[in-house]
Structures are given as C-alpha cells and as structure tokens.
Amino acid sequence: MSISNERRVLVVEDNAKNSKLACAVLEIAGFEAFTATSAAEAVAACTRDVPDAVLLDIQLPDRPGDQVLLDLRALPDMAAVPVIAVTAFAMAGDRERLLDHGFDGYIPKPIDVATFAATVHACIDDARHA
C-alpha cells in the first residue's frame, strides 16, 4: 500500500451522519480519520496536530469554506497540507471555482463510497508532487 506515510486525515463536517460515513470509508481504506464539526474546531485540531490532509465541508455553520481554507493555510506547518473541498453544491463550475480558489481537490456530496478513499489518496499524492 502506498498510503502508509500520509494517512492522517481530518474530516471537517457538521453533519454527524456524513462525518461518520466519511470516517468509516477512510478507516476501511487504511487512513486514520479524526473529526471537527466547525471551522473553529478545525483550526484548533490543526493547531494541535498537523494532519496529512483535510477534507473540508465548505458549508459549515460558523464560517464560509473559502475563509476556512485561508484560516487553515495560515497555521504553522499547514501551508502545504492538501485541503479537499467536500460540497453538496452541484452547480456547473463549482469544481473549477474551488480549485481556482486554492483547494487541492473537490469531492461532491453525497460521497461515492466506492471511489472516495482513492480520490482522497490521489489528492494527497498530487499535492505532494505539485
């Protein structure tokens, strides 16, 4: 398995059901998942312990996703950690807009359990080699 060294993923999601599903799928694939339910919790978690990647629900209760990305990137040692936008938006152009804004990947909700972990892994790998 090639994910051995880059496997600690912070799942930022305010919907408990979505968070639980994402964590379960990641853990089955060999990732170590930990969670935050708000932007404030995500910033606190990344301050305590820098993850290998962040999955960020861009519709959080306390802060817009675009701003959370900037908050996370500004933390010590977080500038190069891949942040993947997870969004229920299904509008044409969302993917391009989010990638232009600086997200390292984009995963639409509901997540596809068959491809989710591989997509996360690919985003981590791409960011590492960028």
Those residues whose C-beta lies under 8 Å from the C-beta of residue 44, and which sit 6 or more positions away, are: 36
Q: Does 14 bind Mn ion (CB under 5 A)?
A: yes
CB closer to Mn ion out of 59 and 119: 59
Residue 41 within binding range of Mn ion, rule CB under 5 A: no
Extract the tokens encoding 107: 């995963």
Shortest gap between Cβ of 5 and Mn ion (angstroms)? 30
57 touches Mn ion by CB under 5 A: yes
DSSP state of 111: P
Reference 38, options 71, 16, 67, 14; nearest CA is 14
- Contacts of residue 92, defined as CB under 8 A and 6 or more positions apart, other chains included, come to none
CB of 59 to Mn ion, least distance (A): 4
- Which residues are within 8 A (CB) of 94 and not within 5 positions of it... i.e. 6 or more apart? 87, 106
Which ranges of 16-93 would DSSP assign to H, the alpha helix?
16-28, 39-48, 65-73
Interface region with Mn ion, contact rule CB under 5 A, candidates 9-17, 19-27, 64-72, 114-122:
9-17
Q: How far is the CB of 126 from Mn ion (least distance, A)?
A: 25
What is the x/- site pattern for Mn ion, positions 91-120, by CB under 5 A? ------------------------------
Cβ atoms of 43 and 71 within 8 Å: the answer is yes
**Beta carbon of residue 40, minimum distance to Mn ion (angstroms, whole number):** 14
Q: Which residue number places its CB atom closest to Mn ion?
A: 59
| 59 sits near Mn ion (criterion: CB under 5 A) | yes
Residues that bind Mn ion (CB under 5 A): 14, 57, 59
